[in-house]
Amino acid sequence: METAKLFANGRSQAVRLPKAFRFDGNEVYIKKVSGGVLLIPKDLSLWDIWEQNLMKYDEPFMVERNQP
């Protein structure tokens, strides 16, 4: 696992990302997740992200289920 440097930028905290983790564009979406932070390229719409995650599940996950 690689590390990144934190630094102060005015009244904000910033992260200097290693070259391998750089983003295209000028902005990212940010979300707190399980005690960490998730960064998502803003040029990628949230619908695109949803669709990419949906494609991970190519088989129905509840084909058979007992109904009450």
User: For residue 2, with 0-12 CB atoms within 10 Å meaning exposed, 13-18 middle and 19 or more buried, which class applies?
Assistant: exposed
pTM of the model: 0.55
Structure confidence at residue 12 (pLDDT): 96
Residue 58 in this model has a pLDDT that exceeds 80? no
Q: What's the confidence (pLDDT) of residue 61?
A: 64
Give me the residue spans of the domains in the chain.
Answer: 5-54
8 Å CB contact between 50 and 44: no
CA 20 to chain centre: 15
Contact 15, 6 (CB under 8 A): yes
31 vs 53: which has the higher pLDDT: 31
Mean predicted lDDT score pLDDT of the chain = 85
pLDDT tens-place string over residues 22-34:
998 888 889 999 8
Which neighbouring-strand residues pair with 33? 36
